Amino acid sequence: MAQMGRPRAFDRQQAIEQAMHLFWEQGYETTSLSQLKAQIGGGISAPSFYAAFGSKEALFKEAVQCYLESYARVTDGLWDDEIAPREAVELTLRRSTKMQCESGHPKGCMVALGTMSAPKHEHAHVTKPLAVSRARTHAGFVRCVERGIAMGELSEGTDAQAMGAAFSSFLLGVSISARDGVKISVFNASITELMKLWDAASNGSQALM
């Protein structure tokens, strides 16, 4: 009877989540193999690491997928047509901001911070899923504005691209500000002000000068 191999001293999914936190905090390029091994724990050796994950790049891809399937879902409401467009925008802004300020994981958004995670051109392919996610969120905001126009909630002259960019850019900025210690109460007050852009473009209201 063949002898069974020695079982891994770590939980693989837990290891991916731990690596995700490290990549989220430090980015792809500045995170070393030794840091990943220390974060995962269990005394994992380099051969065991490569046997489990293949490479640092492969582990990063799994960590990104883990993030997209969990924390990044705070933007799902942008694509839910059962939610009124204005409500979808505000709900997404508040949910994402709350997530970015929570304890228990790094501050900010891994998707937003991904633009600084691997600044070298040769690593652009590594963070492409994060760029795709940023583009999808921007498109979701634009789509909500377009829905508002189509439903007659917003005036026909509303610039969907410009307003969508205002909302998505706000979330990108939250990532840096959250790391600088800006409080959730300040962000929530800012969101209330930001939504006045929508209200100013509503049919029957006078545009802000």
Q: Which of 2-11, 81-90, 159-168 has the lowest mean pLDDT?
A: 2-11
Q: What is the mean pLDDT of residues 38-53?
A: 82
Q: What is the mean pLDDT of residues 41-69?
A: 89
How much is the mean pLDDT over the chain?
Answer: 91
CA distance 140 to 161: 11
Do 149 and 158 contact (CB within 8 A), yes or no? yes
Residue with tokens 């969101």: 191
Which tokens hold the place of 138?
A: 């921007």
pLDDT at position 3 is: 46
Quick check: 180 pLDDT over 90?
Answer: yes
Quick check: 207 pLDDT over 50?
Answer: no
Do 137 and 111 contact (CB within 8 A), yes or no? yes
Q: Which amino acid is at 36?
A: L
Quick check: 18 pLDDT over 80?
Answer: yes
Contacts of 6 (CB under 8 A, 6+ apart): none
pLDDT at position 1 is: 45
pTM of the shown model = 0.89
pLDDT at position 6 is: 47
User: How much of the chain, in percent, has pLDDT values that exceed 70?
Assistant: 91
Which tokens hold the place of 158?
A: 């509303």
The string of DSSP letters for the chain reads -PPPPPPPSS-HHHHHHHHHHHHHHH-STT--HHHHHHHH-TT--HHHHHHHHSSHHHHHHHHHHHHHTTGGGGGGGGG-TTS-HHHHHHHHHHHHHHHHH-SSS-SS-HHHHHHHH--SGGGTTTTHHHHHHHHHHHHHHHHHHHHHHHTTSB-TT--HHHHHHHHHHHHHHHHHHHHTT--HHHHHHHHHHHTHHHHHTBTTSPPP-
Q: Sorting pLDDT into bands at 50, 70 and 90, what band is 169?
A: very high
Express each pLDDT in 59-94 by its tens digit: 999 999 999 999 999 999 999 999 999 999 999 999
